[in-house]
Structure 1
Amino acid sequence: MLLERIYDEDLAQASYFIGCQAKGEALVVDARRDIQVYQDLAAKNGMKITAVTETHVHADYLSGTRELAAATGAEIYVSGEGGEDWQYGFEAERLLDQDAIRLGNISVQALHTPGHTPEHLSFLVTDGAFSDQPGFLLSGDFVFSGDLGRPDLLDEAAGGTDTRFAGAHDLFASLRDKFLTLPDYVQVYPGHGAGSACGKALGAIPSSTVGYERNFAWWSNYLEANDEEGFVEALLDGQPDAHAYFGRMKRENLQGPAILGERTPLAELATGDVATALAADEIGVVDTRHNTLVHEGTAAGALNIPAGNKAASYGAWAMDPETDQRPLVLLAPDSETATGMWDHLIRVGIDKVAGYITSLDGLPAYVPETLAPDDMAGFDAALLLDVRHMTEHTAGHIPGSVQLNAGRVLWHTEKLPADGVIVSYCQSGVRNSVAASALRRAGFNVVELEGSYAGWKHMQNA
């Protein structure tokens, strides 16, 4: 048996490739939308992807299940659990508790493990060529290394009302009746690692075991004492901010994400043509450089979504493709960077990219306004905005600031003053530049605090 973990640093998300060497067949679990990595793995190992599945209706990224099936002809399997409201809106085989997908001697058995979501499945893997007993659990967003999937996302991002309590009780039952009945040696491969907003204290190690979690995870004492109410209270306390785009991901993943098919390589565009389209408000420009370079000058109205390991996350904070249908033009140094950026953006459903430019020449120039920390006292601001996480704000903030997470601010502009200047900050300036560019594009007058909170704190300690 071949078991490969494919990890996306951007969204702290893991997908899995399970292959049977004897039959040359493979299954992919929780695929992302840029699917070449799975096709390359199959080709490298002389396998054909014959099945694709996912653990649940994801909130933090757009599923690549349908994309991969369309490209390979693989059979789609999804959860049939969770009740009427959680049935997928596209054609697929429905998996119920204890159902199995088979690849030669390999059995991939579905376990209904609700809590994070009502329909959630985990997959218990048995390598029949080695043993008749299961050895691996793909736990999705049920059990992480050192933590559990949060049960409050349906309230926070999908329009639910107090579903968190039922979810927390379901999670307790799933641990008791499913997870803790497994042998200690079963290796656990979760769907996320540190940095994901799907839990509050995820570990960075890529895997664990049932025994390790049983003995050392924060929740183990509550299960041992059968203290369900204490477990629920501890689980729900201190969960991080949920990003606003999660609601869109839930809707699109349940309905079935659009299939992109083979994408045409991005073309380099003439800046003169881009300037004309920009003046007609037919496109949007994305400056993919670091915020320090953006602050030296960018294009008027440009979003700052820096290329790199957080491009999908930042892109989903900075624009909503449901309400803004304008295609994007990426400012990038070369085709490779632009293509990599596009790969990240489609993971969160930002599909319309018209091409790229390598220069700002000919575009309307704009220099973002900034404010030095020692000039704050005499500056007349209508609002001092902290775009960090709530936990960061609680741990320490600039007096008088109002917290509104960068991943939520564009969807809660009613909380911002319609007139006057907004001074914004994050921890170091990167997230703030993303949020500030989005708010400027939405018509707000935003000044960025130089050095953000770290710069202000340094001045206080000087």
Structure 2
Amino acid sequence: MFFQHIYDKSLAQSSYIIGCQATGEAIIIDAKRDIDVYLEIAKQNNLRITHITETHIHADFLCGSRELAAVTGATMYLSDEGGENWQYQFAHQGLKNGDRIRVGNLMLEVMHTPGHTPESISFLLTDHPATEKPVMIFTGDFVFVGDIGRPDLLEKAAGLFGTKEIGAKQLFQSLKKFAPLPEYVQVWPAHGAGSACGKALGAVHNSTVGYEKIRNWAFQYDEDEKKFTSYLLADQPEPPKYFAMMKHLNKVNRPLLIEVPKPTRLTQEQFLSAYKKGIKVIDTRDKADFAKGFIPGSFNIQGNNSFSTWCGWLLNYQEQFMLVADNSQMEDLTRKLMRIGMDNIYGYIPAVEELDIELQTTDVISLDAFKTYIGKEGVQIIDVRGASEYEAGHIDGADNIFVGTIRENLDKISKDKQVVIYCQAGDRSTIAYSILAKNGFRNVKIFSGGMKEWSSENRETACCAYY
């Protein structure tokens, strides 16, 4: 048996290629949209991609199953569970609980494991030339390392109210299907630490059934559904706005993108013309470089592992946008954007210094300067981290306005007071600063050290009670 795990750090997302070396057939599970990696792996290992499948209709990335099928001619095997509202709306081979997919001498048995979503399925793999017992389970967003999939995404991201309690009940029952599996079976989930698909995902990429039954919190409540549900639904991170669009695009027919695009490098004249027409500018430079001089109205989303997530928060799928990015970054950034379906890149420029625009600067302050504003009249301190982070500990007197929803909460920010914003280590504060600057806020300062520096100085934090 051939097996390879492909991990996308930018979305903490896992996909898999599994092949029968005797017959040369291979299956891909939960493919990302830039499919060249799977084609190259198959080529290097004398495999043909003949089967493609997904564990569920994903919310955090645009699945590349259809691109892969278009290029290889492989058959897509997708869940037909969950009821009529959870059916894929394009041609595929439907899967139900107990169905089997044969890939040469390998066999994947379908387990319907709803809860995260109604149609979610897992795949129990048996390598028949080696054994008649299962060796791996691909759990999607059902069981993670140290956590389980959240059932509230449909409600929070897609607006399907009343579904989180139903999902929690389904998850509780699905875990009873998982628990009797042999303890040696390897567990390979669809996401790892950093994903918004859960709240406590482990940094290790895989586990075993036995280890999860010992260490995963969900199995400690296997006799108490009420406590299980209460813990499961508490303190889940805010789901990015783009999740609703991903749910839609992964379910319906859509345009395919079988190659990584090559955005246009714009001339100064082309950029300035588009800028004057109102096309958004995303500045991907480091926050320190952005602070020294940025294009008025631009957003600072650094080109790191969180780039696509924050673009998903700030951009919509109908508008064009431009990037400030080095030539060497563009392929990586384009891949990150296409993985969430952000295909409307108008073009990019590598630098801002030579543009005929008066640049703005950010007002960054040190810890010592920040301390002088605490408790002072005429000052509003804003913590732009997520609600669960804020509740776990924050600077006394700070208001919590999450950076992802700050545009919808501008009325909660004073234009008369001195505003000071902070996050954990400065990245999200710079995003928030650029949003506020674009919306006419002028009296804003960034405490760039954030909670990381504050805590390292052993300073007291305030906590919120849980109800």
Q: Secondary structure at the match of 1:131?
A: coil
Is the 1:15–1:191 contact (alpha carbons within 8 Å) kept by the matching residues of 2?
yes
Structure 1 residues 202 and 458: alpha-carbon distance in aligned structure 2, compared to 1, 3 A threshold: closer
Q: Secondary structure at the match of 1:234?
A: helix
In structure 1, C-alpha distance between the alignment counterparts of 2:314 and 2:377, rounded to whole Å:
27
Does 235-244 or 151-160 show the bigger shift? 235-244
In structure 2, C-alpha distance between the alignment counterparts of 1:61 and 1:180, rounded to whole Å:
29
Does 304-313 or 451-460 show the bigger shift? 451-460
Hey, what does 1:427 align to over in structure 2?
A: 424
Q: Secondary structure at the match of 2:404?
A: coil
Q: Write the deviation string for residues 121-165 of structure 1: whole angstroms up to 9, x where unpaired.
A: 111111112112211100111001111111111121111223211
Structure 1 residues 188 and 219: alpha-carbon distance in aligned structure 2, compared to 1, 3 A threshold: same
Q: 1:307 aligns with which of 297, 303, 308?
A: 303
Structure 1 residues 263 and 230: alpha-carbon distance in aligned structure 2, compared to 1, 3 A threshold: closer
In structure 1, C-alpha distance between the alignment counterparts of 2:117 and 2:259, rounded to whole Å:
32
Is the 1:185–1:209 contact (alpha carbons within 8 Å) kept by the matching residues of 2?
yes
Q: Write the deviation string for residues 234-278 of structure 1: whole angstroms up to 9, x where unpaired.
A: 222222222222222222222245312334423322122211221
Q: 2:388 aligns with which of 379, 387, 391?
A: 391
Q: 1:367 aligns with which of 360, 363, 382?
A: 360
Does 194-203 or 389-398 show the bigger shift? 389-398
Is the 2:261–2:334 contact (alpha carbons within 8 Å) kept by the matching residues of 1?
no
In structure 1, C-alpha distance between the alignment counterparts of 2:95 and 2:447, rounded to whole Å:
52
In structure 2, C-alpha distance between the alignment counterparts of 1:433 and 1:82, rounded to whole Å:
42
Superposed counterparts of 1:1-400, under 5 Å:
1-176=1-176, 178-223=177-222, 226-281=223-278, 283-322=279-318, 325-326=319-320, 328-334=321-327, 336-360=328-352, 361-370=354-363, 372=365, 373-374=370-371, 376=373, 380=378, 384-400=381-397
Q: Secondary structure at the match of 1:285?
A: strand
The letter for the 2-side match of 1:5 is H
**How far is the alpha carbon of 1:419 from its aligned partner?**
5.2
Please report the TM-score for the alignment, with normalisation by the length of structure 2.
0.90
Is the 1:374–1:459 contact (alpha carbons within 8 Å) kept by the matching residues of 2?
no
In structure 1, C-alpha distance between the alignment counterparts of 2:116 and 2:437, rounded to whole Å:
35
Does 149-158 or 263-272 show the bigger shift? 263-272
Structure 2, unmatched stretches of 5+, are: 461-467
Structure 1 residues 59 and 416: alpha-carbon distance in aligned structure 2, compared to 1, 3 A threshold: farther
Structure 1 residues 238 and 419: alpha-carbon distance in aligned structure 2, compared to 1, 3 A threshold: same
Structure 1 residues 69 and 439: alpha-carbon distance in aligned structure 2, compared to 1, 3 A threshold: farther
Q: Secondary structure at the match of 1:144?
A: coil
Structure 1 residues 295 and 26: alpha-carbon distance in aligned structure 2, compared to 1, 3 A threshold: same
**How far is the alpha carbon of 1:296 from its aligned partner?**
0.1
Does 244-253 or 113-122 show the bigger shift? 244-253
Q: Write the deviation string for residues 388-446 of structure 1: whole angstroms up to 9, x where unpaired.
A: 12122112223333223223334x34654585565432111111212332444455557
**How far is the alpha carbon of 1:5 from its aligned partner?**
0.9
Is the 2:34–2:258 contact (alpha carbons within 8 Å) kept by the matching residues of 1?
no
Is the 2:140–2:191 contact (alpha carbons within 8 Å) kept by the matching residues of 1?
yes
Does 438-447 or 1-10 show the bigger shift? 438-447
Please report the TM-score for the alignment, with normalisation by the length of structure 1.
0.91
Does 81-90 or 310-319 show the bigger shift? 310-319
In structure 2, C-alpha distance between the alignment counterparts of 1:380 and 1:164, rounded to whole Å:
41
Q: Secondary structure at the match of 1:366?
A: coil
In structure 2, C-alpha distance between the alignment counterparts of 1:270 and 1:357, rounded to whole Å:
7
**How far is the alpha carbon of 1:458 from its aligned partner?**
7.0
Q: Secondary structure at the match of 1:342?
A: helix
Structure 1 residues 240 and 186: alpha-carbon distance in aligned structure 2, compared to 1, 3 A threshold: same
Two-structure CA RMSD over aligned residues (Å) = 2.4
Structure 1 residues 414 and 119: alpha-carbon distance in aligned structure 2, compared to 1, 3 A threshold: farther
Q: Write the deviation string for residues 42-63 of structure 1: whole angstroms up to 9, x where unpaired.
A: 1111212122211111121222
Does 294-303 or 450-459 show the bigger shift? 450-459
Is the 1:319–1:438 contact (alpha carbons within 8 Å) kept by the matching residues of 2?
no
Structure 1 residues 108 and 440: alpha-carbon distance in aligned structure 2, compared to 1, 3 A threshold: farther
Structure 1 residues 161 and 280: alpha-carbon distance in aligned structure 2, compared to 1, 3 A threshold: closer
Q: Write the deviation string for residues 286-344 of structure 1: whole angstroms up to 9, x where unpaired.
A: 2111111100002222221211222211221232224xx12x3222222x311111110
Is the 2:10–2:305 contact (alpha carbons within 8 Å) kept by the matching residues of 1?
yes
In structure 1, C-alpha distance between the alignment counterparts of 2:316 and 2:416, rounded to whole Å:
25
Q: Secondary structure at the match of 2:107?
A: strand
In structure 1, C-alpha distance between the alignment counterparts of 2:236 and 2:386, rounded to whole Å:
11
